[in-house]
Structure 1
Amino acid sequence: MDLDAPLTALRGVGPKQAERLGRLGLARTHDLLLHLPLRFEDRTRLTPIRALRPGSPALFEGRVEGTEVVNGRRRMLLVHLGDAGARILLRFFHFGERQQRAFGNGVRLRAYGEIRGMPGLPECVHPEYRILRGQPPPLEPCLTPVYPATEGVSQRLLRELVGAALPEAGRLPDLLPELRERDLPDLAEALEALHRPPPNRSLPAHAPRRSPALTRLVLEELCAHQLALMLHAGSRPRGRAPALRPAGQLWRQVVAELPFTLTGAQQRTIAEIQTDLGRQRPMNRLLQGDVGSGKTLVAVAAALTAIETGHQVAFMAPTELLARQHLRNLAAWLEPLGIAIAWLGGRQRKSERETLLSGLASGERALAVGTHALFQEQVAFARLGLTIIDEQHRFGVHQRMALRNKGAKLLPHQLIMTATPIPRTLAMSLYADLDQSVLDERPPGRTPVKTALISSERRDEVIARIRVACGDGVQAYWVCPLIEDSETLEAEAAETTAERLRAALPELRVERVHGRMKPAERDAVMDRFRSGAIDLLVATTVIEVGVDVPNANLMIIENAERMGLSQLHQLRGRVGRGRRASACVLLYRPPLGEVATERLEAMRRTDDGFEIAEVDLTIRGPGEMLGTRQTGERGYRVADWGRDQDLMEAATRLARQVFPDRQRTQALIRRWLGSAAHYGGVG
């Protein structure tokens, strides 16, 4: 097997499947080896149906004793499975006639999934299963990995592809022999341990915060990123940027209409940015601000500085939901000034898109707002003077550079924003190539959010609290658990939870929103929620950033123990945006582990994002399972910027040792950054 071959060289991977795998950053066969599991499942032992317990995943077997199709609000297939007098109900919301026929009476199944329901009345929703014919197959010899996935890419396919590549891991060259002095496993040994942990120990015992195998890979990846930054610093554009020195009339018009006074932090940061924009050296500034600190208004001030001098602005966000939120806010401030805004999303009519692209290329449109679509090749600007990137950690450095390269003769200035506070020492390591500004004050009128930890056993009390709050005119969010990186399962959770809450709260208007909905449908739901036409919005983490509904003052986050601190803090930031008292309920499933307890207690103790970021670093690990990573830091494959801070200094020293060897430098960057490596002049 050629580890450098494209994935289409592998059996079962055609062009369409390769395109889907590309969304996961998988382009070459060796990329599969670096695609580590999110978590593991123990399928090395069978649990009798009578011993199944709600709240625990399990592998079980039984015979089909009957099936039925229920045509209610949602059509579903129910399969009754029995063994030795005990029974479990399998529930399927997505099924076909062929699947239904396969569940004939007497057919024996082996299934795996999370057990739900009450003791003695277990059920399992959409379990993974196989029909057993003849002699049952042997149990799995090792723990079963669950990989980061995307729509159209199944866990079965990922396991097959990684399983095919893993025996070839020994052919990957050891690019950091220096690591042998640290008594760490070699690369092939580390990959085997991370993809195929043995079953001879229980899951908790096999899940240290960072094992030697994981440390081996983290050090190599951090070293590769530091090398890329060093190359980037050496090849940083030395060209000129336009000196943007307007009279400031447009910004003064906006300030005059504001119903509040800018905070001192906003005024200081705007002054720093305007000083940078007035120079011919390209600005490259990171703007940090906690949830609700007023970053968008700072971005408006920067955008108007460029627009008033006749230049264009590109404003990019990682998701369509967040980008559209920015579009609404920017339009409210800028369209009264006569500023034309272009929207570039993932799905647009060809004629509409061509008109917008023409307006940008001619300079008629002063501001473009959108997602990744902004740095596509066909997007051209007449006089791009400033790029603004929100939630910067969702993009790689190469993507930021791709947008910067949209400038014509002069390089545009660049403002990068994040609502995920980064501790100072870590920011210096990860973003050493950026100047930094911090918004450390909250605008007046923001109310503190009271946070409560409540066991899921008291779920009925929480539902009763929603009934009272919504009856008093408050709107509420119910956030579904992040089971794994799968929009299909998240959508399933949202649909099921919404049905249960509608049944429990028939007097309330309950709707749901999730990532698998079409953008127009999702926007319509959010618009109804903003207008007050929805009392309770059941949502996945698609609402994590950018959603601003001042009347939504109550949030329930289910299975909060599964989420990282940063994500919990971002979700909580969706409430407390009005003047009424706000609350966030963290529903957890007991018993809590030590790390989960520390994390949730930090959420209850403080709503200061910078303090929470420091706690995250102290905990050093967003999950209690090997390989679990906190959602958000997409720039890394295996490293986690909270957990692995203690390795940053060692990785930087390694990078300095390796940097003079350009061949090894290029190989490390290609291995870990793949096609992104070109931004640093590699390849």
Structure 2
Amino acid sequence: RRHAAPPLLGDGALRRRFLDALPFEPTAAQRRVAAEIESDLARPHPMLRLVQGDVGSGKTVVAALAVLQAVEAGCQAALMAPTELLAEQHLNSFRAWLEPLGVPLLWLSGRLKGAARREAVARLREMGPGLVIGTHALFQEDVQYRDLGLVIVDEQHRFGVHQRLALRDKGDDGGSRPHQLVMTATPIPRTLAMTAYADLDLSVIDELPPGRQPVTTAAVPDSRREEVIGRIAAACREGRRVYWVCTLIEESEALQCQAATDTARELAERLEGVRVGLVHGRLAAPEKEAVMRAFAAGEIDLLVATTVIEVGVDVPEASLMIIENAERLGLAQLHQLRGRVGRGTRRSDCLLLYHPPLGETARARLAIMRETCDGFAIARRDLELRGPAELLGTRQAGLARMRIADLLRDSALIPKAARAAAELEAKAPECIDPLVRRWVSDAINYGHV
């Protein structure tokens, strides 16, 4: 809060028109979080706020209100997503919302090449108040903003801290920094640590839209695969739409795509009358979009996919998911994948297919998934299983390198330490910098994102 930021004091006109045009009433939780963000953005120091809400809770509507406040104040906003699929979904949502309001919208992703990319970069430099949506391309060296007032990072744990710093620095003119809003459906251990220790304010959308049903989750050994395939046939006859997610232990996109291709072929042969689609990371963006549109429109009954659908897929009619080799995935990824179902009013199910015997950690992960759909509860259990990440550094798992404290053992001391820090800042501010240099050193930069 020692840094300056442009106070985003809009007149509210665009936000009122946006809310009036929505086909639903925002929930009380959405309104509360939007008010917290509105208050932050009006201040002359940078907002750094995490919005956590389970999949389907309406984080994007809250982000849209923040964007419109920035535009009303005469600034640009940037929304960065970790995958093309999620960025494209945001583009489609924001286009439907912002174009009727006359707000400029720009797309910039890694797949944009040659003249099209040069034109987009040039337009961004000249564009007035508006929104740019994209992936990692948003912070590349040749990308310059005219007046970046707000940075929104979706699924923030998918980006390294250096990447989030790079985007923030695009709006650092030496005198002020942009406001930052980070969003996630599953806080991971580092997020929890930074919430407890750093200047990261927390908002929770703890209310789902009316009519949403919790997802029933079961863990099933792969010896019952035949039974599961039979269940898919019955589900499709009932008019339900189904995901089958293929995962591999190797970090190889090529092998994952091949596994998904083989599975799609097998299921298409065995499930007569079921229309099977396939989506994976090696499909070109237009092909992926065409498959997802067909699935959403009901032209595909069963979608076989890699974990590329982990975020950014919203098909309310999908109500059954099978995750193959579920024991190989972490809790955050399992929770995100499961969040692709349960987005409508119909009862939804998630089957976690695993290959026995299970190790102790894998067994614990699958048990947690069966017990709860609550993202914060899952993150807390993940913290217990994996250990806190390095607090202000880039390491994701393992023990945090704290000099004395233990995040789990000393959790009750965290609020007291925060109050002590606030008192120190009020009564002896000259002591703060020496303490930070002694204990944190250059890693303090990571606390700014």
TM-score between the two structures when normalised by the length of structure 2: 0.85
Letter in 2 for 1:418: T
Letter in 1 for 2:45: R
- Tell me the residue number matched to 2:224: 458
Match among 237, 240, 264 for residue 474 of structure 1: 240
Letter in 1 for 2:118: E
- Tell me the residue number matched to 1:113: none
- Tell me the residue number matched to 2:149: 385
- Tell me the residue number matched to 1:306: 70
Distance in 2 (CA, whole Å) between partners of 1:487 and 1:320 is: 15
Match among 389, 412, 415 for residue 181 of structure 2: 415
Q: Which moved more, 1:502-511 or 1:404-413?
A: 404-413
- Tell me the residue number matched to 1:486: 252
In the alignment, structure 1 residue 347 sits paired with structure 2 residue 125: no
1:289–1:421 Cα contact (<8 Å) kept: no
1:241–1:411 Cα contact (<8 Å) kept: yes
Match among 28, 33, 36 for residue 272 of structure 1: 36
Displacement of 1:386 in angstroms is: 0.8
1:312–1:367 Cα contact (<8 Å) kept: yes
Report the secondary structure of 1:261's partner residue: coil
* Gap change, CA 1:461 and 1:252, over 3 Å in 2: same
Distance in 2 (CA, whole Å) between partners of 1:448 and 1:522 is: 28
- Tell me the residue number matched to 1:521: 287
In the alignment, structure 1 residue 323 sits paired with structure 2 residue 87: yes
Distance in 2 (CA, whole Å) between partners of 1:410 and 1:678 is: 16
Letter in 2 for 1:343: W
- Tell me the residue number matched to 1:447: 213
Report the secondary structure of 1:660's partner residue: helix
- Tell me the residue number matched to 1:98: none
Distance in 2 (CA, whole Å) between partners of 1:561 and 1:275 is: 43
2:277–2:304 Cα contact (<8 Å) kept: yes
Displacement of 1:312 in angstroms is: 0.9
Report the secondary structure of 1:356's partner residue: helix
- Tell me the residue number matched to 2:399: 644
Distance in 1 (CA, whole Å) between partners of 2:304 and 2:363 is: 25
Cα deviation code 1:497-524 (max 9, x no counterpart): 1111111113111121111222222222
Match among 5, 23, 27 for residue 259 of structure 1: 23
* Gap change, CA 1:244 and 1:365, over 3 Å in 2: closer
Report the secondary structure of 1:611's partner residue: helix
Displacement of 1:425 in angstroms is: 9.4
Number of aligned residue pairs: 419
More helix by share: 2
In the alignment, structure 1 residue 510 sits paired with structure 2 residue 288: no
What percentage of residue pairs aligned between the two structures are identical? 58
In the alignment, structure 1 residue 546 sits paired with structure 2 residue 312: yes
Displacement of 1:455 in angstroms is: 1.7
Q: How does 1:79-158 map to 2 (within 5 A)?
A: none
Structure 2: gaps (5+ residues): 411-433
RMSD: 3.0
Displacement of 1:305 in angstroms is: 0.3
Report the secondary structure of 1:380's partner residue: coil
Displacement of 1:650 in angstroms is: 4.5
1:360–1:381 Cα contact (<8 Å) kept: yes
2:3–2:177 Cα contact (<8 Å) kept: yes
2:322–2:351 Cα contact (<8 Å) kept: yes
Displacement of 1:300 in angstroms is: 0.5
Match among 285, 294, 297 for residue 531 of structure 1: 297
* Gap change, CA 1:542 and 1:425, over 3 Å in 2: closer
Displacement of 1:659 in angstroms is: 4.4
Displacement of 1:661 in angstroms is: 9.1
Displacement of 1:483 in angstroms is: 1.7
Report the secondary structure of 1:644's partner residue: coil
- Tell me the residue number matched to 1:618: 384
Cα deviation code 1:64-83 (max 9, x no counterpart): xxxxxxxxxxxxxxxxxxxx
* Gap change, CA 1:481 and 1:437, over 3 Å in 2: same
- Tell me the residue number matched to 1:184: none
2:168–2:177 Cα contact (<8 Å) kept: yes
2:76–2:128 Cα contact (<8 Å) kept: no
Displacement of 1:660 in angstroms is: 3.5
2:157–2:191 Cα contact (<8 Å) kept: no
2:320–2:341 Cα contact (<8 Å) kept: yes
Cα deviation code 1:471-508 (max 9, x no counterpart): 22211100012322111111121111111111111311
- Tell me the residue number matched to 2:334: 568
Letter in 1 for 2:10: P
Structure 1: gaps (5+ residues): 1-235, 623-628, 670-676
* Gap change, CA 1:279 and 1:490, over 3 Å in 2: same
Return the structure number with greater relative CO, CA threshold 8 A, min gap 6.
Answer: 2
1:483–1:489 Cα contact (<8 Å) kept: no
Report the secondary structure of 2:438's partner residue: coil
Distance in 2 (CA, whole Å) between partners of 1:337 and 1:411 is: 27
1:482–1:563 Cα contact (<8 Å) kept: no
In the alignment, structure 1 residue 402 sits paired with structure 2 residue 180: no
Distance in 2 (CA, whole Å) between partners of 1:661 and 1:615 is: 28
Match among 201, 206, 212 for residue 435 of structure 1: 201
In the alignment, structure 1 residue 495 sits paired with structure 2 residue 261: yes
Distance in 2 (CA, whole Å) between partners of 1:577 and 1:645 is: 36
Displacement of 1:242 in angstroms is: 1.7
Displacement of 1:429 in angstroms is: 6.3
1:244–1:278 Cα contact (<8 Å) kept: yes
